[in-house]
Amino acid sequence: MKKQIFVILIFFPILLSYSSDYELSAGTKGNRIALSVINSLPIHIMDAELYIKSAPSWLRFDVEAIRIPYILPNQKIREVFIFSVQDDAINKKGNVWFTLRSSKGVIISEHSIDLYTSAKMCISKLLTIYPNPSNTSFKIPFVINKASRVKIQIYNVLGQIVRTLVDQDIDIGKWEFEWDGKDNDNFFTPSGLYFVVLEVVNDEGWKRYSSRIILEK
């Protein structure tokens, strides 16, 4: 679920700093932080810049700075930062610092926001399998947003089950299993294209996810 966050940033002749907490969903794009900047000073602010001073590595902002040509006394302007959250950012917490500075580099005001993610806010899904292609084994990460019955199977191009890797009850969270390239009889499989299929069953129903992998030897 995309998140839209509204923040009011009021600046005086002193530095302001305060925080709020917001929960995000991993793997989402188009999240927005809307900052309203209010000039309560009796002077014009010319050629200011609103920029991201620091942010967690699991967030990706479309832009890191926004130029503001001028802000009149008592004027309120609104700027928006758009960002995405990495797929594997589960149970993460971080702080984003926004800074407003003048053209001379003088800090006018700052604002911090605490952002965090949790598995319950995510969509159960299969994450990026790695390495892919591989000549040995594959790491298969996935996210479960609630306790579920989980099955992971490897299929060949003929639609035949090569290996049942997982068939068990799994709790909420991010998990990772490894396929060693062997079939159910513990023999190494030949090179080629395979399909990893994740099935999740809980009180919300049945869901199925798949991804292609290439085994090279």
Query: What confidence tens digit (pLDDT) does each residue in 122-164 have?
Result: 667 888 899 999 999 999 999 888 889 999 999 999 999 999 9
pLDDT at 6: 56
114 and 143 in one domain? no
d(CA 50, CA 63): 11
Domain end position, chosen among 120, 136, 162: 120
pLDDT at 7: 54
Q: Hey, CA dihedral for 119, 123, 124, 130, is it positive or negative? A: negative
Confidence band (pLDDT; 50, 70, 90) for 119? low
Q: State the residue range of the domain holding 192.
A: 123-215
- Structurally, the chain folds into a number of domains equal to 2
pLDDT, tens only, 1-11: 555 655 555 44
Could you tell me the CATH number of the domain that includes residue 185?
2.60.40.4070
Q: What is the mean pLDDT of residues 188-207?
A: 93
pLDDT at 44: 82
pLDDT at 13: 32
Domain end position, chosen among 74, 94, 120: 120
75 and 148 in one domain? no
Position with higher pLDDT, 187 vs 120: 187
116 and 48 in one domain? yes
Q: What is the mean pLDDT of residues 32-53?
A: 85
204 and 179 in one domain? yes
136 and 95 in one domain? no
Mean pLDDT of the chain: 84
pLDDT at 120: 64
Name the percent of the chain lying above pLDDT 70: 88
pLDDT over 90 (residue 167): yes
Could you tell me the CATH number of the domain that includes residue 38?
2.60.40.10
164 and 106 in one domain? no
pLDDT, tens only, 199-215: 999 888 899 999 999 99
17 and 115 in one domain? yes
pLDDT at 56: 94
DSSP 120: G
Q: What is the mean pLDDT of residues 177-191?
A: 96
Query: Strand (E) positions, the chain?
Result: 4-11, 21-24, 31-39, 45-54, 59-61, 65-71, 76-85, 93-101, 107-117, 125-126, 138-144, 148-155, 161-170, 173-179, 192-202, 205-215
Domain end position, chosen among 87, 102, 120: 120
pLDDT, tens only, 55-90: 999 999 999 999 999 888 888 888 888 888 887 787
